[in-house]
Structures are given as C-alpha cells and as structure tokens.
Structure 1
Amino acid sequence: MTVAELGTARTSPLRAKRLPTRQGSPQLSWLSTAGMVLGTVGVLALTACSPTPEAKGPYAPELKQARDAASSDFERQVFKDLDISRAEYEEAVKRFVDCVKGKGVTISAVPTDGYYQYDVINNPAVDQDAIQESCGKGTRNLIEPIFVDRLRNPNKEDENELFAKCLIRNGVAPADYNAERARKDRVNGFKGAPYDSSDPRVAHCNANPNT
C-alpha cells in the first residue's frame, strides 16, 4: 500500500459531455443490452470471489486486532491489507505531529534506529498528555507500536537474547555474552557489565537490537 493510495481521489474539473445516440435495429439493441447484463454479472462475480487479505507472520494477531479497532478512515485504509508499510508509518507520524503542533504543543519526531521518538517542549498552559492522546487516536496509536515492534523484533524472539547478540555483533560485548547476563545487566543498570554502558553502540542495540 502506498501513500498515494491513502490520499483522496480528485475529480476532473471538466464535465463529461453527453454523447449523441442513434437508433439501432431491435436485434442489435437486444444484443447490446444482453452484453451489458453479462458484463455486470461478471464484474459482480469477480468482486464476490476476491480473496480477503490474511495477516501473516508473528504479528498477525496484532494486525487483526488493530484492523478491528481502527477509528479513522486513514487507519482503516492502512490495515485494509493487514500490513504496515514504511510510507504508511511515516504518514501516521506526520499526521500525529501536525495535530499536536496545531494544538499549541512544540513537538518534533526524532529518527532513532529506523523509527521515531518524540521531543516535546514543556508547556504548562496546555494539557500535553491529553493532547498527545487525542491526536494519537486515528493516527499513530494503533500503527506505530506494531510497526516498531516488527522492526525491532520481527520474529518475537527474547529481547535479551537479541540485545546480547547485537552487542556481540557490534563488537561491544565478549563472544560468550548471553541473554541471561544481558537481563541481569539491564536490571542492575549495567553495573559490573563487561563493557562500557556509555558506549553509543549500547544505546543503539537497546533501541533496535535487530540492526
């Protein structure tokens, strides 16, 4: 699904001209009418037989739940094929940010390892949490969690296992580092971890261990 599919269709500014008709023989008229009927039946048959999209992969349940919970035309269009493209995610973020800004909150979407986090400047004059929740409905609330989870953990593996593998892959942790040690290090705030937790690669693996 593309962003172009999400936009509203434009009608032509030119009016269609009514074409002149001419009388034909009764036989030709009957054949023409029969052809139109058969053509209509064929179209209806094709429509009736069109397969319903099926969600695939580990996140199929979440995609189906989101489709059923969609509250805006935008969300319904996104989940129509039970998938979320990068373009659709980008559009969801844009709609959310534009809505929040329009209600007096200074916000920016910051790219972070394949997805966005949000920087918000405090404004005591407005209820920022309420505004973000209101603007998130129909834009990003259903779309973003699934997109980010699939990006970070496409096969729903153990998060600590992914984190440990990412650290090893990026040359941060020793080769024998494992999920259990990663879990303990995270719980303890990385005290005693066999690497420097201030290394930017640690934050990188935490943000998206699938990279």
Structure 2
Amino acid sequence: MASVHKALGAITLLAIGITLTACSGSETGAGQDAPDDVDYSDIADMPHFTGPWAEEFRYAYARAATEQIRDYLRDEVITEAEKQEVTEAFRTCMVSHRLTFDDFEDGGGYTYGIAAVSSADEANEIATNCENETGVFEVVQMYFLIRANPSNEDRTPEIVACLIRSGVVPQGYPVERHMEGRIDEYALVEMNELQTTENTCNNDPDGAFRG
C-alpha cells in the first residue's frame, strides 16, 4: 500500500499555520498571519486566555470549525482524552474517504495509506480537509506543542543547533532565518526528511541527534 507522511508545522509568534509535507512536495497554508496581526474583534465569545500559550490559543479558537473544538480550548488545557477524541474523529473522516490512518506520531506528524484513491495529491487534499474539519491543528497540534514546551519558551537557538547537528541544514544556518520560516532555503535533504527532522528537533531540541 502506498503511503504519504505529513508533518504538522509548529506554531510560532512569527509564522502560524500548518505546514503539510507529502512525498511529492509540500504545501504551506496561504494567508497566514502572525498571531498579533489577527483581528479577533468579531469573535464575541473569545475567552480571556492568559497562559503562556494564550496568543496561540486565541488563534486556534478563532479558526476552530466547531463548538466542541472551542470547548476543548477554553480552559487552555488539552487533555489526553480531548486529543484522543479528535484523533478518532480524524480517523473516521479519513476512512470515510478511503484513506487509512493509524495514529499521530509524537509531535503531530502522521502517515496514511492512499491505495484506494487516484493520487497522492488527491489524498493530501482529503487529509487536509479532514484536519480542518476535525480540529487536528487546534487540538492535536496544541497538545503536542504544550507537552514539549509547557512554558512556551523561545527554543529557537536550541532547535537550530539540533537541525545543524542532524545534518539537514549546514553549519552556520542562521537562527533569524529559521524564525522567518526560511529553512527550505538552506535544506541539504529532501523536504519530507527535512520536515520529519524539524519535527523531532521541535520536540526534543537538546537531546535529539546526539551520539
């Protein structure tokens, strides 16, 4: 069975959205705004988020497709049970469109089978639609981000050091370029490997690719 791997890109204060990587290439959501550039004035029930991930929760809440997803976000805590509810909803959506899906990897990436659809591009579009409908970005992505960095510290220098250590970018890869989301300009490997490695470094910047 043919399969496609997709890696969810991390939310940062400089670039926020989902980066989806398939074997055939990558797609980055268009029209992405930095959180502090988003106008939330038309969202009447926006909670007063105050924690270390408050800005990201505001953005996730604003783009949530259903009231259930908003309920998961209101307390600024994504529980294992809530993450699992979205995982099951996503799996149901994928299966209903003849794609196979097992579970999310640590960090939010995942692999799915595409044997029953006509092309990887069609499968990628289906997977993206299922993500948007079920709250994968708002719930699953936030779950892994908070677990990896509860206080939302800027780990960019450590992440860049990890990427250099892994060999997917050259020595001297600038922290500033990474903060601007320009890692693909420095990539020494194919995009799929780059995204997988970046996901690993985002989750464990100090420990990954040592020894």
Q: What TM-score does the superposition give when structure 1 sets the normalisation length?
A: 0.49
Higher helix share: 1
Higher relative contact order (CA 8 A, sep 6+): 2
Q: What TM-score does the superposition give when structure 2 sets the normalisation length?
A: 0.49
Which one has a bigger Cα radius of gyration? Answer: 1
